[in-house]
Amino acid sequence: MKVILVNGSPNKQGCTYTALSEVANTLQKYDIETEIFWIKTKPIIGCIACGKCSDLGKCTFDNDVVNEFVEKAYDADAFVFGSPVYYAGANGSMTSFLDRAFYSNSHGCGGDAFKHKPGAVVCSARRAGTTATYDQLIKYLGISQMPIVSSFYWNMVHGNTPEEVMQDEEGLGTMRQLAHNMAFMLKCLEAGEEKGLTITEEAKPRTNFIR
């Protein structure tokens, strides 16, 4: 089993990384492989709704890490998406990254890198804006048929530096419980697959509000 944890912060080993590392370290105790995937600091263009992904099977923009991540995602069993809080929301690079990764993989492209795979989101802030960021990020999972993994509190840590995050006992405990819950869910899914359990797929109607 493998879990990819996405570090959406421009800081490679900052507060978001510290939170994700707490999750990863706990998952490894269950013999689950982990990889922390950093989106780096190079500008990530937002989705321009060109629709080219329907023809290409991937995002048309190939000059950043989005397509690289999606290719890795096919071989992963679960995901944790982490972002710092910018103005009570996810930072711009992470938003652009997720918009393109999820849209190019699912909308008319026949992709299934994320569908039916457990996912969680993690937010990091000095003080506030975490719940709004959590609400924003969780929507990517909810529209993609991903079982959402929670903890005993919303998945967030607080601190202005990694050292301060390490003092957030409740936040770190939340990260560890998130990992325990994800490991349990992965083991359950594995057991269900061994028994031949499958998910019924309905045809998806597409409408808008004027017809």
Find the mean pLDDT for residues 195-199.
95
Name all contacts of 49-52 with Cβ < 8 Å and 24+ positions apart: 51/108
For the stretch 129-180, pLDDT in tens is: 999 999 999 999 999 999 999 999 999 999 999 999 999 999 999 999 999 9
For the stretch 71-82, pLDDT in tens is: 999 999 999 999
Mean pLDDT of the chain: 95
Find the mean pLDDT for residues 91-102.
97
- Sketch out the chain's domains with CATH numbers: 2-194 (3.40.50.360)
Find the mean pLDDT for residues 13-31.
98
Instruction: Specify the pTM.
Output: 0.96
Residue-level pLDDT at 209: 82
pLDDT band for position 50 (cuts 50, 70, 90): very high
Residue-level pLDDT at 108: 56
Residue-level pLDDT at 185: 98
Residue 50 structure tokens: 């060109």
